[in-house]
Structures are given as structure tokens and as C-alpha cells.
Structure 1
Amino acid sequence: MTHITLVLQGGLCNRLRAALSALWLTEQFSDCRVEVAWAVSAECAAPLHRLFEPETYTGERFSVRPYNWFYTPVCRANLHIPGLLRRFSYDAQWVNFRSNLTATQLSQCIAVHRRLYISTGYDLCATPDDMWRRLQPLPHLQRKIEALSRSFSRHTVGLHIRRTDNAVSMAHSTEPMFFEAIRRTISEDPMADFFLATDDNSLKDRLYETFPDRIFTQHCRGSRAELRGIEEAVIDLFCLARTSRLLGSYWSSFTDAAAQLGNLPLLIIDNSTSCSTSEIPS
């Protein structure tokens, strides 16, 4: 049997997609066991058990373990020392792993190892979207999701606009393009309204002013460097998943996760689209 230590990297949705793909892998093949190391850091300041019901992300050969320095991905700051020490414990180290392999192909690659270290924020292998729908937020988060989404209708469109620290997303998915996409959506469906998830409070204000009575969102007070901020991200994610379709940001795992979680038609607003909601498949 291959024992895999999976060190999750990046923000909330990067981590979740990697973890869910690993859980899927263990359910398809009985000859591997995965232990996930989830760090509480500035990128994601919440442990998994403070967000979701544990039974929704555990399995017979899948578990989450406490994080320590030994699992830290190598970098200049730590002089690659963790990686050197791990050579005594692991047959191989797949650092910043990313692939387009199927579960079967990946299982063949890992079968030659007894102990394997993987660090990533991507899917380990092709994974069904319905793995996302296993996740069950904790009761206090679920109550907020229910309250916010109670007024959703078939005219409610999800709107995820990633700003602040994602330069790639901001360059491709510009603010004027989102405003134009909203206008076109309203012209095609005069009853359209929007649930907005964004990390830019000033943008919220501009959208409220430009599209009065059509934009609604949760009142966020935290950042992803705080537990409250990650809880708010979970609420946004699950509310977006309850809309009828999604206008999302380029190069954003949060956009991708919301679409997969809700099985939603998705239009990425970027320089290669015309921003017409008519392009969204039904």
C-alpha cells in the first residue's frame, strides 16, 4: 500500500479541490492511504473542522492530521531543509504537483512508491464535480447560508468578482467588463438580480449605486487571515452555488468551485468573451 502525505497549498478552494480529489482517489483504489496536512496560515486561517462536518470529508483511508514544520514546502526562506529531511521518510516528493491524469493513471504512478509526499493546491486527478456536494458546512454557517439564499429565485444570478491580491484575475476580468455583463443580463432578463461575492468592499458600493435593488450580498467583516473571513468565504461559496447561473472571474479557484458545487452554467468574464449571458449554456 502507498501512504501519501498531502500538503495543501493556497487558499480555501485550492485546498478543498486537492483534498476532495485525494478522497476520491482513496475510494477508487484500496491500495493507497492519504493523510492531509492542512496548515492554518494567512492564506486560509481556519482548520477544516471549524468549517465543515467531519463526516463529510473523511474516509476509510483518508484523514486530516495536525500540521507541523516537517511538512512545510521547500523555499529559499527555509533553505530547503524540510525537503532534505523528508528524504529519510519518503520515497519521493512531488512538489507543487499538477496533472491532467485520471484516477487510474495516477494510481499507476503512485503504486511504485511506499511513502509519497505531495504538495499542491490542484486536483490530484480528474475528479467528479459531485465530490464538492458532499461538503456540509457546520450548523452556524448553514443557518446563514439558508437565510441569505431564502429570497433566491430562478432569476438570481451569481456574481463572483475577485480583486485585491489576484493580479492575473484583475487583468483578465476587469471591472468595466463585469458592469457590462450585468447590464446585458438585465436587458435579457428584466427581473434579474444578483448575489455578489467579492473581496473588494468599494466595488460593492459602486455596484449598489449603479444597480440599486438588484445587488445583494452578505456583510463581511473578516479577511482570509482570520477565522471569520474564511467562514464568510464558505457562506459566499455555498450561496453562489444556489443561484441559477454564475458570472465568474478568470483564474479563480473560488469561481470554479462555486460552479462545480452548484452544477451551474458558468461564464468567465475575461478578455476573450463578449460578456453576453446568452452564451451561457442552459
Structure 2
Amino acid sequence: MIVIKPVGGICNRMRAIAASLEWAKETNHDLKVIWNLDSDLNLDFFSCFMPIQNMSLQNERIEKNQLKILFKKIIKKIKKISGQGYNVHIYVQDIYNLIEKGLSKEDFKNYFNNISQNKLIYIEANWDFYPLSCSPYNLFRPSHLIQNKIAFFSAKFPDKIIGVHIRRKDHKIAIHHSPTKKFIDIINQELEKDNAQSFFLATDCEETEKALLEAFDEKVFTYSKIKDRNTPDGIQEAIADLFLLSKTKKIYGSYWSSFSEVASKIGGIELIIVN
């Protein structure tokens, strides 16, 4: 069995789960997800997404110092049921260490496939650590409430619409490498090529949203009104933004942002990083 605890925000967790689904499928392991409600994402899984096949899930609201206790309980329960006694622990830093070694995708695959020879594996991850031969992202379906909001809003989209994701708030790397002015220049260039073009803007910054609406008026569509991603409503609006972004023709995204990347993978559309 693979026990995965995805960490970080919504898209980091989606990436980790997508990799785990692929890994479990290829190595014929059962998959259990521990979904921790914490300061990074304070909302249970089923308020975000529909159930995913071939994956059991446990919502937990636990502090970091309680994780080892929880894992020991899970190990004890699994051992009692199945008699499995082989344990492997992999943490986020372990994966970063592999990245620093310059491992190729094939090296990563071989590394994790070798680990899968053990019967019980625990891993914490915040990105798609296992190479994906397909796109497990289409297994993620928003909850019914969020789906209805997405369907209602996306019905307003014109035929020609480009996605724009501008990450701000505390993301210093994105702010530095993907300045708002650069996005404005790109939108102007797209309008010069085709004035009928429209844009869907997803951003976590009210000032940025206001600046683009003032600059381009009805050419820019926006959905989310709650920019605080630490509230349940804010998290659900972020998920709606993510899937609305995936329904555009292509995405101009922010540097070093999982949100831009995951949206493009959900929609199977081109991602152009503004840098």
C-alpha cells in the first residue's frame, strides 16, 4: 500500500495525488490519501472534489507534531489486517534532494518503482514526483457546488478567450519574474493581432484585477470575488478559477506557479510562462 500525504496548497496537492495515482496503478498498489486540513489548505477534500476511483481518503485536522502518531496508528492497523511489515518513509526534502542530483524522468521512475517492491510506503509530497504517461488530472472533478458555478460562468465565455493567471500575494518569485506590466503588454499584443480576443483573468490580488479591468474593461472576464485563500469560500472560488482557466484556448501563466501548470494540464492546453 502507498500512503500519501499531499502538502501545500490545492494545486501542489493535486500534483502529488496525480503522481501517486499513476505510481499506484503501474505498480499494482492500493492508494490511501491523508488529506490534512491545515494553514495551507483548510478545507476537506470532498468540499473540493468528487471521490476519485481506486483511492481511499482520510480527512484529518492535525498539527505537524501529531503526524507521526497518526502514521503509527495507520501502520499498526494495516499490519493487523494484512501482516505487511515493510515500511519506507519519503518526505518532501528527500524528493528535493533527488531533484538536486539532476535525475532524469526515467531515473525518477526507476527510483520509485524500486521502492514499490516494499509492501507499505509512506510519502509526503507537493508535486508530481512520478512521471505521468497520461493525464490523471482529468480524474479530478470539482464538487457539485463548484461544478455548477463553473458551468454557469463558463457559458458566458466567447469563442475567442485566452487565460491569464497572475500570481501575487506572498509569491516573491512570481512577482519578480512575471510582473503585471508584462501581462498588460502581452494582452495588448494579442489585441493588436485580433481585437475580437477576450481574456479570462485568474488572480489572487485585488489590485492586479482592478488594474487589468481598468485597462481592458469588457475584454477581461473575472470570476472570484474572495481573494483570501484561507477561507472555505476562498478555496472553492480558487478551484473554480482553476477549472475556468483550463477552459480557455491557452494560458499566459506566472513563473514558478503550480496553479498555471495544473490549469493547463487539466485542459490539455498550451501554457506560456510570462518571464
Rounded to whole Å, the distance in 2 between the matches of 1:246 and 1:128 is: 22
Quote the offset at 1:111 in angstroms: 3.0
Q: What one-letter code is carried by the residue in structure 1 that aligns with 2:89?
A: Q
1:209–1:104 distance in 2 versus 1, CA, 3 Å? closer
| Residue 47 of structure 1, CA deviation | 1.4
Where 1:211 maps in the other structure, the secondary structure is helix
Partner of 2:7: 9
**What does 1:1-282 align with in structure 2 at a 5 Å threshold?**
3-30=1-28, 32-54=29-51, 57-59=52-54, 62-67=55-60, 69=62, 72=64, 78=65, 82=68, 91-96=87-92, 97-98=95-96, 101-102=105-106, 105-128=110-133, 130-221=135-226, 223-270=228-275
Deviation of 1:177 (Å): 0.8
- Partners in 1 of 2:221 and 2:61 — Cα distance? 40
How many pairs were matched up? 254
| CA offset digits 1:155-177 (Å, max 9, x no partner) | 20001000001111111101111
Amino acid at match of 2:68: P
Change beyond 3 A, Cα 1:179–1:67:
same
Structure 1 pair 217/157, CA: closer, same or farther in 2 (3 Å)? same
Q: Using the alignment, how far apart are the partners of 1:226 and 1:68 within structure 2?
A: 15
- Name the % identity: 27
Moved more, 122-131 or 190-199: 122-131
Q: Distance in 1 between matches of 2:198 and 2:273?
A: 18
> Structure 1: how far apart are the matches of 2:140 and 2:5?
20
| TM-score relative to the length of structure 1 | 0.82
* CA drift at 1:63: 1.4
Distance 1:39 1:191 in 2: 44
Q: What amino acid does structure 1 have at the position aligned with 2:228?
A: S
Give, in whole Å, the separation in 1 of the partners of 2:241 and 2:207: 17
Unaligned runs of 5+ in 2: 76-85
Q: Secondary structure of 2:181's partner?
A: helix
- Tell me how far 1:28 sits from its aligned partner: 2.1
Q: 1:130 to 1:116 in 2, by over 3 A?
A: closer
Root mean square deviation, CA, Å = 2.4
Gaps (5+ residues) in structure 1? 73-77, 271-282
For 2:270 and 2:105, the matched residues in 1 are separated by 25
**When you count helix as a share of all residues, which structure comes out higher?**
2
